[in-house]
Structure 1
Amino acid sequence: MLKPKKGSEGMELTPRKQAVLKAVIKAYIENGEPIGSKNLVALLENAPSSATLRNEMSELCELGLLHQPHTSAGRVPTSRGYSLYVNSLMNKAEIPESEKKAIDEALESLNCEPEGIPNTVAQLLSKLTGLPAIACLITERQPKIKRIELLPIGRSSVMLLVITDDGRTRNRIFRHGGFTDESKNCFEELIEKRIKGKTIAELNKAYFQSIIAECGIYILELMPLLTAVFETVSEIENTDVTLRGENALYNICGDENTARRITSLIKRRDPIISILEGIGDNVGAVFGADTVYSELAGETVIAAKFSGSDKYKGYVGVIGPNRMSYEQIMPCVHYISKRMTEIMTEAQKDMED
């Protein structure tokens, strides 16, 4: 039996209003058309009269849970309505065993090197849901520079390779006229004494300027190289956000401009990270209309956290239209995050043994 729930402004929803709201949202998710009172008569068990249902829907509109697109139309859910549905009214479901098996098999050979985790997890979730998926790994501590190498490529090009102690790698190819043995020795000495073992945060612009000041007579040879080191190190962030299924993003947005704006928002990292960190430890939904980001006005982010390591935590989720199958997608996101936590916990134990 349905119990009274708190609606907008803290008002309690009667069991009938809950049933009406739930029926409207489920029907709207299924067919995308505004729901009228006549539709509800057919949908609800022991339904009251059409006039009574019209009154119930009008009151749900006043509470900000439903919206009437125009006077002759039925009702559609608002972000508040969806939120109440997801958090209180939705049937909690388990994902099918066949889907669990597919996830387990896909993650079985997962390499727990941090570089590969977001890509693998986002690709898997996008494939399962048909929606654009995001994943990120957040370091609980700053990575340190483990090694910097110079690899000659042809006569006048060099590849600079930067490797951190947590396995991240970045490289950059640039043209160079060559080094004398003396200038190369000076560079290697600076790397060993001033850069190796430093955190990414420590290697800021001012720090690199102090290193350049130590180059002495080799400054003309080493300036381009040290600049390349600084730019490459700057690309290593504490947080990498991966987006997969971009074609699906274009499909759900309906126009390229909106899809590009959302893609740009994700690439900026900080906005999407702030949304993900607001979700908490369990799978949750954030409705774009409830955020400050206009790019997400018609979209919803469903995501969950995974951890299991003292070095990292991560998030995995999807971006989809407000009108999507929450009952199917949320259990899928939850199961992947649960398995990721188990995998990372096991990897942490193996490292300690």
Structure 2
Amino acid sequence: MSFEQARRNVSGPFEVLLATPGRLVQLLDKDLIQLHDVRMLVFDEADQMLDQGFLPDSDHIVDSCPKDVHLSLFSATVSKAVQELMNTLFSKAEVIRSSGSGKVTKSLTTENRTVVDGKRWPILEKILRIPLKKNQGGTILFTNTREQCDKLAQELKDHGYECAVYRGEMDKNERRSNLKKFRTGEIDLLVSTDLAARGLDVEHVGRVINYHLPEQKENYLHRAGRTARAGRSGVVINLVTARDVRLIALLEGKKAEIKKGRKDNPFRSSKEAKEEEVKITAPTSRGKLGKKTDYTVNEFTKAKANKFIEEKKIARGFKPDADAKIGKKPFRKSKSDEKAKPKSNERRPVSKKSPTKYFEAKRK
């Protein structure tokens, strides 16, 4: 809405005014509106207002209202910044929290799919092949940046998926048109940044896919809140990399821990780890020591793999160490096979190819 349109809207009498902090401050500074008779002032999405830097404007609006104004503040999440705002605006604040505040609803199912950066698409394609029921609605795919949003949308279109983009810094008419198509079911996929995570009310969203997970728990909760609304069921699917472990652990109420050797897949169980490929180093089939190759052993556990190496090495004259392990030198040659090395005080034989050194040795 243009400033001129806003000026015309407040020029006449009204009972309820819905405004953004920035535009309302502009009207106040130009004396185009007075708030001395306001009885109730409500700040909605307070956490988002603070993230966008509207704290000074909020203070200006409160100062323009009567001292006895009934002040209310609504926020989906109560961060430190929101708490500071409450302490600033309220002398004696009454805090009301809804049940289950800060948690995902029980009708929401969460799935974590581990991925590696640069290899997200194959996992996403498998997910999209599972269609939602007609009454479940569409799918919102979240990214962290506008560049990621555009790139993902283009990749979806290249693979034959019809989708729309919803992000900041795009034409407002185009954004409204894309949202309308998604709401009416004309398209099933909406690719968005966190712009769609807050305040966007779409009646039917059956699935939310975090193509890139946010860094903050609050942003994750906002994204997850787009589905499983009004008692309906929904699913959130997270494409998780090693750097997302802390966020997932925080959501699950666990301590973040990445075990050594599991950075590519930090959520796999010990049973899954044993079933993975075990690469071992052993002599080639020719039996020439020194030339080594990698044997991929799927059917062996680590203990059996060690035994497998032991049998191969013993057959070639190696003597196994008691503490042989994969990844180290588990075998050594027997002493009888090793050449005796000269002691430090013994003189080494001099090659005859070097005449100078040869005659020096003869003189001594």
Q: Which has the larger radius of gyration?
A: 2
Larger relative contact order (C-alpha < 8 A, sep ≥ 6)? 1
TM-score (norm 2): 0.22
TM-score (norm 1): 0.22
Higher helix share: 1
